[in-house]
Amino acid sequence: MTTPPAVPLRVALANGSFEQPTVSGVEILPDASQTQAAKRVPGWLTTATDHRIELWHSGFQGVPAADGAQFAELNANQVSTLYQDLPTTPGTKLYWRLYHRGRLGDDTMALDIGAPGATVEQRRFTDGNTAWGYYTGTYTVPAGQTLTRFAFRSVSAAGGNQSIGNFLDGIFFGTAPAVVLDKTAIPVGPLEVGDVITYRVTARNVGGGAAENLVLTDAVPPGTTYLPGSLRIVDGPNAGAKTDAEGDDQAAYDAEGERVLFRLGNGASAAEGGSLPSTETLPAGTTVEYRVTIDLASAGKQVSNTATATYENRLGTTPETLTATSDEAITQVEPAADLVLTKAADATTVTVGQTVTYRVSVRNTGPNDATGVTVTDQLPDGLVLLSAEGPGHHDPDTGEWTVGDLAVGAAATLVLRAKATGTGLVTNTATATANEKDPDTGNNTETVSVCVAPAPSCCDPCATGK
C-alpha cells in the first residue's frame, strides 16, 4: 500500500454525466457561459457560435444513458468542441474516463487535452449506435501549465448531418482520490480514571475521483476499554446505519484485534467499504464516533492514538490501494491514588475511666503518588482525647489528621489515646481522602465500636442497651 503525497490542487469536472439541468426528451440549452439564461448547462462550454449544448434524457428514441439519467450529443446545431477549463498543478497525474456512442451509425470524436489554445489530441474514438464504448486513460500536467482544457472534438458522424452524432456520458477528468482524516477526543480534558472519551473521526475526500472501498480502523488505546454499543456513523452516507459488536454490520468492534472498524461511503456493507465522493460533492465528508472508558492503568498518563483508513483509487486500469492517517488525539489523565484505611482498638470492652488506644493507618496502593492526604476521625461523646502520636498534624477539635503526601506503597499510622467517660456502645469512624481521584472509595473508611461499662463487675450495658 502507498500513502498519497501532499495533495495537489483538486481537479474534477463539473456535471460530468450531464445530469443538470433536468430535461425531458431532448433539449438544446445554453452553455455555462450564458449566465443570463434561466436554464443552462453548468460546467460545460462549447465552441459553437450559438453556445448551445444538446442534452438527452435516458430512453429518448430508445437510447439509454450510460451513467445516470441523462447524456449529451456532441453535435448539437453545429459541429463543435465541448470543453471545460480547469486549474491544475504542474506534474499532477490526471485520470480520464468516458462513454461514447454513435447515433445513426459509426461516429468519431477526438479527446484533446492541454493548455487552452494549444491542446493536443490524446485519442480518437469510433463507436456504432448499438452500445456505449467505455474508455480510460491518464494525462500528466506539463511544467508551467496551471490551466488545462479537457475537450471533445467532433471528427465525423454517420449520415452527414452536422447537428447529429457523437453521444457522450459518464465523463471524469481529474485527480485521484485523496482521503484526509481529522480526529478529535471529546471532552478535551484533562479527565479522570473512569471517565468516558468519545473519539470522533471525519473522513473527507479532497481529491477528484471517488475513494472506493473505504474502510476506517482505529485501535482502542492501551489503558482504555471499548464501551459496547457506542459505534455510530454520525454524518455522511448511511448515517445512523446499524452497528454492533458481532461484525455483521457496517461497523463493528474487533475484540481480538482491540480495534473498531467502519466501512464507509455510498454502498458500504458488512462485507466491504463503499464509495466516498470528493468534497466537491460531499463537502463535510463522513463522520464516525465510538467511546472508551479510561482504565486505572492510564492514571497520570496520556491516552493517545490515531485512526487509519484504507481506500482504492480505481480510476486507472488496476485498483491502487492508498492509506490515510489522522492526526493524533491526546487526552491527559489526572493522577489516581487508591488509599486503604485500617483502624483498630486495643480492646473491645473497657470500663469508665480506662484508656482506649486506637491505631489508624492509611496506605497508598497507587498507581500514583497521593498528595494532600487527610484522615478525619472525630471522637464521639463518651471519649476524651488524651494524646495523638504520628506524622503530620492532628487537630483535636475537628479530629482531622493532616498526613501530607504518600508515595506509592507508603503508609502512615496515627495512635490515638482516649479516656472513656460514659457508658454504652461508643462508635467512631475514620475516613481518608486525597487530592487525587480514588478509584476504590470502598476501602477509605472504617468504623470501630467499643463497649464502655460502669465497672468491671457490672452488667453488660452494650448488650442491654442501658
User: Above 50 in pLDDT, residue 246?
Assistant: no
pLDDT at res. 466: 44
Residues 335-365: tens digit of each pLDDT: 999 999 999 999 999 999 999 999 999 999 9
From 296, 314, 332, the end of a domain falls on 332
Residues 153 and 234 in one domain: no
User: Above 70 in pLDDT, residue 8?
Assistant: no
Residues 357 and 318 in one domain: no
pLDDT at res. 2: 42
Residues 167 and 254 in one domain: no
pLDDT at res. 10: 83
Assigned domain for 6 exists = no
Most confident range (mean pLDDT) of 164-178, 229-243, 443-457 is: 164-178
Assigned domain for 18 exists = no
Residues 257-280: tens digit of each pLDDT: 999 999 999 999 999 999 999 998
Q: What total of structural domains would you count in the chain?
A: 3
Residues 136-170: tens digit of each pLDDT: 999 999 999 999 999 999 999 998 888 899 999 99
Assigned domain for 62 exists = yes
From 174, 195, 225, the end of a domain falls on 174
Residues 324 and 371 in one domain: no
Distance, CA of 305 to CA of 328 (rounded, Å): 6
Assigned domain for 466 exists = no
User: Above 50 in pLDDT, residue 5?
Assistant: no
CATH number of 42's domain: 2.60.120.260
Residues 212 and 343 in one domain: no
| Mean pLDDT value across the chain | 93
pLDDT at res. 460: 66
pLDDT at res. 459: 61
Residues 319 and 382 in one domain: no
From 298, 332, 366, the end of a domain falls on 332
Residues 66 and 158 in one domain: yes
The predicted model gives 43-52 an average pLDDT of 96
CATH number of 281's domain: 2.60.40.740
Residues 198-244: tens digit of each pLDDT: 999 999 999 999 999 999 999 999 999 999 999 999 999 988 866 66
Residues 131 and 189 in one domain: no
Assigned domain for 159 exists = yes
pLDDT at res. 79: 86
Residues 165 and 253 in one domain: no
Assigned domain for 152 exists = yes
Assigned domain for 390 exists = yes
Q: What is the pTM of this model?
A: 0.81
Distance, CA of 362 to CA of 372 (rounded, Å): 13
CATH number of 414's domain: 2.60.40.1530
Residues 306 and 183 in one domain: yes
Residues 303 and 196 in one domain: yes
% of the chain surpassing 90 pLDDT: 87
* Domain interval for residue 394: 337-454
Assigned domain for 388 exists = yes
Residues 350 and 440 in one domain: yes
In the block, cell 485527480 appears at 175
